[in-house]
Chain A
Amino acid sequence: MTTPLIIEQVLNGLQFGVMLFLMAAGLTLIFGVMGLINLAHGSLYMVGAFAAAAVAGATGSFFLGLIAALAAAAFAGAVVEMVVIRRLYAAAHLDQVLATFALILIFSEGTRWLYGSFPLFLDIPDSLSGPVTLPGGIQYPLYRLTLIGIGLAVAIGLWALIEKTRIGVQIRAGENDREMIAALGVNISKLYTLIFALGAALAGLAGALVGAIQSVQVGMGEPVLILAFVVIVIGGIGSIRGAFIGALLVGLTDTLGGVFLPELFKLFMETGAAQKSGSAIASMGIYILMGLVLIWRPTGLFGARA
């Protein structure tokens, strides 16, 4: 284990974490304000990735692709909110789970219908490809570093939006008492559509950004969705700050666990067995983390006290 390797893995963990944050922020916002559990959030991630791959493939511009991803995911989110989700706010959680599960089926198979089962590819733009040298002589891919930057910028932007703007005041008020702010003259259904579209756009952005380092395919959204659930369970549902801390914890645990646990096991096991059991335990690492947090605090790190 050398220091450059450790720093590189920490950066990988951060990059994974901030991308999870983009997903988790939307989920937790939607739950906090509207009280809705949205399984179809992973589909919006997929929509963003496909829109980016299609537009970038047609125009050759990665940045147009990113804009397309934001627009397509926000549009899909707004339409879904107005057609389906709106009817579910007052419904039981079970109904929300089922209706959004149905939306996953429709989105996934619909996309398979349009694009087929083979993955699409989205290339990293030339201006962002290749490694950079960090202080200390460590080589690290520029694109991944950019992702960390974008993730942190979005986190700051979201914080400013919620704490400093008029819409942010309405969002925070909506979390506390939706009847009251409706009575005060805020158009609540427009606000809900806006929040849903905002969450969708963040998911779409994450899909497009991650799509460039992985492949763009049907079903790519659900594993990320479930990780985002783990994130907000750890952070506390409804808390953006919790989502941020939770996302970084999950990102770092998953990445560092996969690298260091097998090494750790090698200290007292033979190499082959250590590799096997180390990676098996590492694959469960974030769930063990979640279990521990729940034993300590059943409503998450920053959740409302029950």
Chain B
Amino acid sequence: MRVDERMINTVVIAGLLALPLYALAVDEPFTITLVTRAVILALAAVGLNIVLGIGGMVSFGHAVFFGIGGYAMGILAYHAQTFTVLDLGLFTTGGTKMMPVIWLVAMVVSAVVALLIGVLSLRTSGVYFIMITLAFGQMFFYFAISWAQYGGEDGVSIYVRNSFPGLNTLVPIQFFGVCFVLLCVVLFLVAQLQASPFGLALNGTRQSEARAQAVGLNPMRLKLLAFVISGAVTGLAGALFADLNRFVSPSMFSWQLSGELIVLIIIGGVGRLIGPVIGASVFVTLEHFLGGLTDFWHVYLGVILLCIVLFGRGGIIGLLTGQEGAHV
């Protein structure tokens, strides 16, 4: 049986919207929170998929941007809740609890850091690139641990979820709505990007850098731009994730998280628009049910992952559509 990819996209998005609405109807707020978690992880992986799936760069350090998004939220909200001044050298601010402002800061800072990391690590490729991104991730992890002002190893707790004009974000379904709309907007933009001249050129660079160069494209610039966009999207997801938990800690920078983001993409299907969303849904479901059965659910996750890599090329979408998808 061959299924059309567009149909899969529609079904997945509809399902992601229907489940929390059903949970609202039968009054199970925990399910809503669980789906929100899946939506946010999906958003982070959608960001990673821009470099991994379209650009063919295996970044093993995307937790950097997830963590930066988280700390952007944590730091701004911390100063707002303690009424202290955040001194940035050029100007001072009292922090903020407004989500749109936090998102903007998270995305801008992530993009700037992505630019710096990208300029250094894109000088290399292949295994070097994997190891270097991993090492940068670790650098931010240790920096966050030694950053005593914001809790060091313990992180920062935010007592009240940040606000969005016109909504009460403490109601699970309303916060879910915010995250879901953001995911849809980003998915729409990524679809546009994939079909744009930039997306096509990036895709061509993944398939053959030499050919791309021969027709006059600049692979380094394409990849760097993709890396920056990708970092900004994952940073946005990090800010939402911190808001979901009302807590940030260095664990948002951990290398396991970088690995898990890649895993989400592989489960769904590399380079597919909706692949990360399917991957995140499956991951959160497994985490919830296997995690309820045994404390050692990562063993099963490991075995499943090994089977996907060794036998099931193309992830779930590849299985359904009968096409392997992008080669990285």
Question: What CA separation (Å) do A95 and B130 show in the bound complex?
Answer: 12
* A290, B132: Cβ atoms closer than 8 Å: yes
**A291 interfacial contact with B, CB 8 Å:** yes
**B124 interfacial contact with A, CB 8 Å:** yes
* A97, B130: Cβ atoms closer than 8 Å: yes
Q: Which of B134, B262, B328 contacts A92 (CB 8 A)?
A: B328
* B127, A290: Cβ atoms closer than 8 Å: no
Task: Give, as a whole number of angstroms, the nearest-CB distance from A148 to chain B.
Answer: 25
Question: What CA separation (Å) do A194 and B164 show in the bound complex?
Answer: 60
Interface-located stretch among B1-9, B24-32, B143-151, B208-216 = B143-151
Question: What CA separation (Å) do A91 and B266 show in the bound complex?
Answer: 15
Max count, chain A CB within 10 A of own CB: residue among B131, B255, B263: B131
Q: Which of A93, A95, A112, A299 contacts B296 (CB 8 A)?
A: A112
Given contacts A101-B259, A102-B305, A280-B143, contact A299 B128 (CB under 8 A): yes
Chain B residue with Cβ nearest A92: B328
**A230 interfacial contact with B, CB 8 Å:** yes
Interface string of B291-303 (1 = CB under 8 A from A): 0000011110111
**B193 interfacial contact with A, CB 8 Å:** no
Given contacts A37-B127, A37-B130, A97-B60, contact A105 B145 (CB under 8 A): no
**B309 interfacial contact with A, CB 8 Å:** yes
* A97, B298: Cβ atoms closer than 8 Å: no
* A97, B262: Cβ atoms closer than 8 Å: yes
* B127, A93: Cβ atoms closer than 8 Å: yes
* B127, A105: Cβ atoms closer than 8 Å: no
Chain B residue with Cβ nearest A101: B259
A-B contact count (CB 8 A): 121
* B136, A294: Cβ atoms closer than 8 Å: no
Given contacts A93-B130, A98-B266, A294-B123, contact A276 B135 (CB under 8 A): no
**B327 interfacial contact with A, CB 8 Å:** yes
* B130, A291: Cβ atoms closer than 8 Å: no
* A98, B305: Cβ atoms closer than 8 Å: yes
Given contacts A98-B262, A233-B135, contact A226 B255 (CB under 8 A): yes
Enumerate chain B residues within 8 angstroms of A300, measured Cβ to Cβ: 128
Question: What CA separation (Å) do A147 and B46 show in the bound complex?
Answer: 46
Task: Classify chain A: how many residues form its interface, as a range.
Answer: 35 or more
**B120 interfacial contact with A, CB 8 Å:** yes
Q: Which of B132, B145, B298, B310 contacts A109 (CB 8 A)?
A: B298
**B237 interfacial contact with A, CB 8 Å:** no
* A298, B124: Cβ atoms closer than 8 Å: yes
* B139, A287: Cβ atoms closer than 8 Å: yes
* B135, A226: Cβ atoms closer than 8 Å: yes
**B194 interfacial contact with A, CB 8 Å:** no
Task: Give, as a whole number of angstroms, the nearest-CB distance from B300 to chain A.
Answer: 9
Q: Which of B131, B143, B302 contacts A284 (CB 8 A)?
A: B143
* A279, B60: Cβ atoms closer than 8 Å: no
**A175 interfacial contact with B, CB 8 Å:** no
Given contacts A233-B128, A294-B124, contact A283 B296 (CB under 8 A): no
B250-309: which residues lie under 8 A (CB-CB) from chain A?
A: 255, 259, 262-263, 266, 270, 296-299, 301-303, 305-306, 308-309
**B15 interfacial contact with A, CB 8 Å:** no
Question: What CA separation (Å) do A105 and B298 show in the bound complex?
Answer: 6
* A99, B298: Cβ atoms closer than 8 Å: no
* A105, B299: Cβ atoms closer than 8 Å: yes
* B143, A110: Cβ atoms closer than 8 Å: no
* B134, A283: Cβ atoms closer than 8 Å: no
**A164 interfacial contact with B, CB 8 Å:** no
Question: What CA separation (Å) do A279 and B134 show in the bound complex?
Answer: 21
Enumerate chain A residues within 8 angstroms of B58, measured Cβ to Cβ: 93-94, 97
**A103 interfacial contact with B, CB 8 Å:** yes
Task: Give, as a whole number of angstroms, the nearest-CB distance from B128 to chain A.
Answer: 6
Q: Which of B120, B124, B148, B299 contacts A106 (CB 8 A)?
A: B299
**A213 interfacial contact with B, CB 8 Å:** no
Q: Which of B135, B142, B298, B309 contacts A108 (CB 8 A)?
A: B298
Q: Which of B132, B138, B259, B296 contacts A233 (CB 8 A)?
A: B132
**A263 interfacial contact with B, CB 8 Å:** no
A286-301: which residues lie under 8 A (CB-CB) from chain B?
A: 287, 290-291, 294-295, 298-300
Given contacts A93-B58, A105-B298, contact A283 B306 (CB under 8 A): no
* B127, A283: Cβ atoms closer than 8 Å: no
* B145, A283: Cβ atoms closer than 8 Å: yes
Enumerate chain A residues within 8 angstroms of B266, measured Cβ to Cβ: 94, 98
Q: List 12 A-B contacts (CB under 8 A).
A: A93-B130, A94-B270, A94-B328, A101-B263, A103-B306, A106-B299, A229-B134, A233-B131, A237-B128, A276-B148, A290-B132, A294-B124
Given A37-B127, A101-B259, 16 other A-B contacts at CB below 8 A? A93-B126, A94-B58, A94-B328, A97-B262, A101-B263, A102-B303, A102-B305, A102-B306, A106-B303, A109-B298, A109-B299, A276-B148, A284-B139, A287-B135, A294-B120, A294-B132
Which 6 residue pairs are nearest across A and B when measured between Cβ atoms? A105-B302, A287-B139, A106-B302, A102-B305, A229-B131, A283-B142
